[in-house]
Chain A
Amino acid sequence: MLRAGWGLVWRRQRVLWGVYSVSLVLALFAIQPLVATLQPVLDHSLAADRLYHSFDLATFADLLSRPEFARGAVTRGPVLFGVIFLALMLLFTGGILKVYIEDRSLATGEFLGAGGEYFWRFFRLLMFLLIALAPVRLIHLGFRAWSDGLANRWAQPASSVSVRVGGTLAVLFLLMAVRLWFDMAEVLAVAEEEYAMRRSMVGGLRLTWNNFGALFRIYLLPSLLVWIGSALAFWAWVRLVPHQAVAASLVLSQGVIFLWILTRLWQRSSEVVWYQQRAPETLLQPSPLPETPIEAFLRPEVPPAEVSL
């Protein structure tokens, strides 16, 4: 499944480059206020050497403590453009899934048209996702309170740290499971041209619940790849990249971002492939969805008019 998903990403790599480009361009825009603040301070100052030929944290903190940085120069841009990126990803996701489901390149207008078609549906799914994350947050707080309680009772940190680490892993697992559920809801929505997002959610939940092992593997393995890749890149950056090698830092850091986007799309494409290959048979197993004809899942290639006959 992952191999087929990888093939899909590779064949439709315009999607990958497109998302990466948008991410890079928006990030470049986002940091312009910061750059405009840095340039007059650093470009003509010999003190900047302590940031260029090494990375002196005190000098960096000294820089950030200047009044120019107190007005949100560092954070305003990224937050604003982060919201724009989020909106664009809401817009693109429908198109991306359509590309993967149909395994064909879409013209720009077609791609954006598909995205626009699903924009508000996926926005509703985003709202549902936030609601679904609330219990995860509560569980996280519960683990933290448990860990703090143990830390308060015992001087030996092992027990509280174990609970904290175990809790973090459990929450991470839950986050992945919830994301997987909503991924499948999105696949279902596009594949079945579903309008009712609640139905997509229920269908996604059923798919995920009944096939958790296979689906989780699809989600986990690319995630592991990105974590290991990021750690290796960090190690290489610390050990191998000289302080003043800005170009090397750029290549390495952009490689990491590219890897993040690549693996996310790999998860998406693998989920699509899985859905197309396995979902119809798994959907037969549980009780039928109340408002969605099973035949629609069984014969997606058949025009709806014929199904109704």
Chain B
Amino acid sequence: MMRHRMSVVFALSILVVFNTSGASARRNTPPKVAILHHAASDATSVASATGCKALSVRVVSYGIDARLDADKKAIEATETLTYHNLTGQPLQTFPFHLYLNAFQPQSTFMSEVRQSGTRGTGSEAGWDPKHYGAIEVQSLAADGVGDLTPQMQFIQPDDHNPDDHTVFQVTLPKPVPPNADITFRMTFHDQLPEVVERTGYKRDFFMVAQWFPKVGVWWHGAWNCHQFHATTEFFADFGVFDVKVTVPRNYVLGAAGDEIGSDDNPDGTRTVTYHAEDTHDFSWTASPEFTDVEDSWTGTAGPVKIHLLMSPGHLGLKGRYLQSLKGTLDYFDRWYGAYPYDRITVVDPPRGALNAGGMEYPTLITGGAAWWEPPGLRLTEVVTEHEFGHQYWYGMVATNEFEEAWLDEGINSYVEVKIMAALYGQGRSLIDLWGATADDEGEQRLSYLSTPDADPLTRFAFQFMSSAAYGDTTYGKTAAVLLTLEGIIGEETLRNALHTYFERTKFTHPTGTDFLKAVGDASGQDLSWYFNQAVSGTNVLDYEVLGIRSDRADWYRKNPPPGKKGQTLYRDTVLVHRKGDFLFPTETDIRFDDGETVREKWDGRDRWVRYTYLKRAKVISAEVDPDHKVRLDRDFFNNSQTAVAHPGATRKLEVYAVFVTQLFFQLLAWLV
């Protein structure tokens, strides 16, 4: 997900108490015929429907048949889920996510939004009934077991909020043995919200995401199935998706799978069948107003078909979308590994639906664009780059976004900085407009500076101090941590580390330990001193040049001769101070007026260090981190000091400020 840089204001908070029974399970559905059977012991050996070898351990297999009611903004669907028990132990209880139930006033999600806001929604925004969403499982049965509807019960593993209905669990009469399969059959009903938090409708545009009951992940010896929180995203097992979507015939569809069939129905609808393998989610979008721009790109794993679903008024931006997407594909292919899927769909949300934008799903991403966007303002590009990046850091390297969001959002933000700079130029990758510039690195850093010391990167996403702290730390601080790491081990080494990490962990659920090990292996260094502070700690890094001074060596003489450059002896001192609690070895460049520059190294363990020289030259400046490698440093302005003032920047800003002030005066004087 991309935190929105464009201002999108949604009126949303909790004022109206709604009946949450829409999500409650019905208990009178007759049992279905069911068979419990043993599965192949190794899912990776299961050949895919397309004849290709499976890329992932396919734990789940979903078959969904969904019909969109475009007028009621609702979906009626049936779902068949086959779960392969590869946990090595019998499983009797199964938890399921019901994400759409988050969009109800008493949910945990909405309570958290009320407390500290989330993207596009301030904490003081009122509850808007348009944002009501729900998913109701109408019946649940399991093959070989029968009707399980009465056994369904909502659980709240994170906060025990009884009104939160985003997770339910069901207990089987008898456990599913190891290496066996169980097939669940459900019917469910979705009520979509007006687009909020990545999903919903706007007019006749539908972004249907997190819309079906999804089983939790057996991970580290337990079920991992968190409630839906304001700051969390998703975590699911890899598998196969066979999904039929029925929509009005005039709708253009896009989905996270290969289209393998399309049938027109007599009732004016169309049913499109999709198949996806080695993915862990399935989302789709529909609108009668999409223009499907088709293109392709070829990488080391073969050709990739691009579907760009453009909304009205945005077609002029298609070139910018495609340039960013193809450039990003190129760099990922070159730097980190091959893109193995044969398709990527980019959804351009229409006006008013920006809250559906900036989101990632396997092989389908949503962008974000405005018709007025000038070419030097690269919002479309950065959102496209970021969301595509998630195909790697989330899509294939499927980390737990509830618990270690820095591994997907943070690594992806770092990679975003690198690729945006490679595509659009260092120092101007984000804005290059009317003489003003900004790069993505600077934007990430600003985000980090907003909340530099509240939470470690490793905190569970829903346990951060605030929504802002989550965003600032997970995205901005992680990017700054990795950019600084680049300064320690080298850009190429870190790139190799990411490549290694990707190749080792793709199509699995790695943890932070796996990532740090990959970095350690690639660099051959013990970096625990750094990771303990930067990743697991909340230490703040801030070094400053506290003072520079040149005193004549003969200062004590009553009438010393006038100082002569190159002849008079000076005692030069430079005082460097560690303001923060982050211990970091630093370098300091000290420049003298005879042209010499001395580079000093300091381990930073003490609070300060003083460099003293007896030279026939005066010190003219000192700069900590002269190569600008330590992007975690909280204050760049105090990293250097010059002996003589250089007021150029102050004068420049003064001129601007005078002008703006006089302009303001003129506007006021218009009243007279």
Binding site for B on A (CB under 8 A): 23-24, 26-28, 30-31, 34-35, 38-39, 41-49, 51-52, 54-59, 61-63, 65-66, 74, 77-78, 81-83, 85-86, 89-90, 93, 122, 126, 129-130, 151-158, 160-161, 179, 234, 237-238, 243-244, 246, 249-250, 253-254, 256-257, 260-261, 264
Question: Are A155 and B312 in touch, CB under 8 angstroms?
Answer: yes
> Which residues of chain A are near B598, meaning CB under 8 Å?
none
Question: Are B669 and A58 in touch, CB under 8 angstroms?
Answer: no
Nearest 10 A/B pairs, CB to CB: A58-B442, A48-B649, A253-B659, A155-B350, A57-B438, A46-B640, A156-B312, A43-B645, A157-B313, A27-B661
Question: Are B671 and A126 in touch, CB under 8 angstroms?
Answer: yes
Among B586-627, those with CB < 8 Å from A are: 621, 623
Question: Are B648 and A44 in touch, CB under 8 angstroms?
Answer: no
Among B304-329, those with CB < 8 Å from A are: 311-313
Determine if B504 is an interface residue (Cβ-Cβ < 8 Å): no
> Which residues of chain A are near B653, meaning CB under 8 Å?
34, 38, 42, 51
Stretch of B19-27, B218-226, B237-245, B427-435 on the interface side: B427-435
In the assembled complex, 18 residue pairs joining A and B whose CB atoms fall closer than 8 Å, in A order, are A23-B662, A31-B654, A39-B650, A48-B637, A51-B649, A52-B648, A54-B427, A57-B438, A58-B438, A58-B441, A58-B442, A62-B442, A62-B636, A78-B664, A85-B668, A85-B669, A156-B312, A260-B663
Chain B, Cβ-Cβ closest to A49: B649
Given A62-B445, A86-B671, A45:B641 Cβ within 8 A: yes
Q: In whole angstroms, how far apart are the Cα atoms of A78 and B652 in the complex?
A: 17
Q: Mark B14-37, 1 if CB is under 8 A from A, else 0.
A: 000000000000000000000000
- For residue A19, give the distance in angstroms from its CB to the closest CB of chain B: 9
Select which of B351, B637, B638 is within 8 A of A155 by beta carbon.
B351
Given A47-B640, A57-B436, A157:B446 Cβ within 8 A: no
Determine if B651 is an interface residue (Cβ-Cβ < 8 Å): yes
Chain B, Cβ-Cβ closest to A61: B446
Question: Are A46 and B621 in touch, CB under 8 angstroms?
Answer: yes
> Which residues of chain B are near A129, meaning CB under 8 Å?
671
Q: In whole angstroms, how far apart are the Cα atoms of A160 and B230 in the complex?
A: 32
Determine if B670 is an interface residue (Cβ-Cβ < 8 Å): yes
Question: Are A43 and B639 in touch, CB under 8 angstroms?
Answer: no
Determine if B666 is an interface residue (Cβ-Cβ < 8 Å): yes
Determine if B657 is an interface residue (Cβ-Cβ < 8 Å): yes
> Which residues of chain A are near B655, meaning CB under 8 Å?
246, 249-250, 253
Binding site for A on B (CB under 8 A): 202-205, 287, 289, 311-313, 350-352, 371, 427, 431, 434-439, 441-443, 445-446, 449-450, 621, 623, 635-642, 645-666, 668-672
Select which of A49, A54, A89, A256 is within 8 A of B659 by beta carbon.
A256
Question: Are A122 and B672 in touch, CB under 8 angstroms?
Answer: yes
Question: Are A257 and B659 in touch, CB under 8 angstroms?
Answer: yes
Question: Are A78 and B661 in touch, CB under 8 angstroms?
Answer: yes
Select which of B313, B431, B654, B663 is within 8 A of A156 by beta carbon.
B313
Q: In whole angstroms, how far apart are the Cα atoms of A58 and B443 in the complex?
A: 6
> Which residues of chain A are near B623, meaning CB under 8 Å?
46
* Beyond known contacts A48-B649, A77-B661, A264-B666: 17 more, CB 8 A cutoff: A24-B662, A35-B654, A44-B640, A44-B646, A48-B648, A56-B437, A85-B665, A85-B668, A86-B671, A152-B203, A155-B203, A155-B312, A157-B351, A179-B670, A243-B652, A249-B655, A260-B663
> Which residues of chain B are near A62, meaning CB under 8 Å?
442, 445-446, 449, 636-637
Question: Are A52 and B649 in touch, CB under 8 angstroms?
Answer: yes
> Which residues of chain A are near B658, meaning CB under 8 Å?
24, 27-28, 31, 250, 253
Question: Are B352 and A152 in touch, CB under 8 angstroms?
Answer: yes
Chain B, Cβ-Cβ closest to A244: B648
Question: Are B663 and A257 in touch, CB under 8 angstroms?
Answer: yes
Q: In whole angstroms, how far apart are the Cα atoms of A34 and B655 in the complex?
A: 12
Select which of B446, B652, B659, B668 is within 8 A of A52 by beta carbon.
B652
Select which of A63, A83, A264 is within 8 A of B637 by beta carbon.
A63
- For residue A113, give the distance in angstroms from its CB to the closest CB of chain B: 18
> Which residues of chain B are near A56, meaning CB under 8 Å?
427, 436-439, 442
Select which of B437, B442, B449, B668 is within 8 A of A82 by beta carbon.
B668
Query: Could you say which of A55, A65, A77, A244 has the most chain B C-beta atoms within 10 Å of its C-beta?
Result: A55
> Which residues of chain A are near B205, meaning CB under 8 Å?
155
- For residue B669, give the distance in angstroms from its CB to the closest CB of chain A: 5
Query: Could you say which of B442, B635, B665 has the most chain A C-beta atoms within 10 Å of its C-beta?
Result: B665
Q: In whole angstroms, how far apart are the Cα atoms of A45 and B419 in the complex?
A: 30
- For residue A225, give the distance in angstroms from its CB to the closest CB of chain B: 14
- For residue B658, give the distance in angstroms from its CB to the closest CB of chain A: 5
- For residue A178, give the distance in angstroms from its CB to the closest CB of chain B: 11
Q: In whole angstroms, how far apart are the Cα atoms of A51 and B637 in the complex?
A: 11
> Which residues of chain A are near B650, meaning CB under 8 Å?
35, 38-39, 42-43, 48
Question: Are A34 and B657 in touch, CB under 8 angstroms?
Answer: yes
Query: Could you say which of B427, B436, B651, B658 has the most chain A C-beta atoms within 10 Å of its C-beta?
Result: B658
> Which residues of chain A are near B446, meaning CB under 8 Å?
58, 61-62, 65
> Which residues of chain A are near B637, meaning CB under 8 Å?
41-42, 45, 47-48, 62-63, 66
> Which residues of chain A are near B668, meaning CB under 8 Å?
82-83, 85-86, 89
Q: In whole angstroms, how far apart are the Cα atoms of A31 and B289 in the complex?
A: 51
Given A38-B650, A42-B637, A151-B352, A158:B313 Cβ within 8 A: yes
> Which residues of chain B are near A152, meaning CB under 8 Å?
203, 352
Q: In whole angstroms, how far apart are the Cα atoms of A5 and B637 in the complex?
A: 52
Question: Are B666 and A261 in touch, CB under 8 angstroms?
Answer: yes
Q: In whole angstroms, how far apart are the Cα atoms of A250 and B636 in the complex?
A: 28
Question: Are B646 and A48 in touch, CB under 8 angstroms?
Answer: yes
> Which residues of chain B are near A24, meaning CB under 8 Å?
658, 662
Question: Are A86 and B640 in touch, CB under 8 angstroms?
Answer: no
Q: In whole angstroms, how far apart are the Cα atoms of A65 and B645 in the complex?
A: 23
Q: In whole angstroms, how far apart are the Cα atoms of A253 and B663 in the complex?
A: 10
Q: In whole angstroms, how far apart are the Cα atoms of A256 and B653 in the complex?
A: 17
> Which residues of chain B are near A41, meaning CB under 8 Å?
637
> Which residues of chain A are near B289, meaning CB under 8 Å?
155-156
Chain B, Cβ-Cβ closest to A63: B637
Select which of A45, A83, A158 is within 8 A of B640 by beta carbon.
A45
Chain B, Cβ-Cβ closest to A54: B437
- For residue B118, give the distance in angstroms from its CB to the closest CB of chain A: 22
Q: In whole angstroms, how far apart are the Cα atoms of A277 and B495 in the complex?
A: 79
Query: Could you say which of A24, A27, A61, A244 has the most chain B C-beta atoms within 10 Å of its C-beta?
Result: A27
Chain A, Cβ-Cβ closest to B440: A58
> Which residues of chain A are near B659, meaning CB under 8 Å?
253-254, 256-257
- For residue B598, give the distance in angstroms from its CB to the closest CB of chain A: 16
Query: Could you say which of A44, A153, A160 has the most chain B C-beta atoms within 10 Å of its C-beta?
Result: A44
> Which residues of chain A are near B441, meaning CB under 8 Å?
58
Given A47-B636, A52-B649, A154-B203, A260:B661 Cβ within 8 A: no
- For residue A30, give the distance in angstroms from its CB to the closest CB of chain B: 5
Question: Are B662 and A257 in touch, CB under 8 angstroms?
Answer: yes
> Which residues of chain A are near B656, meaning CB under 8 Å?
249, 253
- For residue A49, give the distance in angstroms from its CB to the closest CB of chain B: 7
Q: In whole angstroms, how far apart are the Cα atoms of A47 and B352 in the complex?
A: 40
- For residue A106, give the distance in angstroms from its CB to the closest CB of chain B: 19
- For residue B618, give the distance in angstroms from its CB to the closest CB of chain A: 15
Query: Could you say which of B441, B623, B648 has the most chain A C-beta atoms within 10 Å of its C-beta?
Result: B648
Q: In whole angstroms, how far apart are the Cα atoms of A52 and B671 in the complex?
A: 36
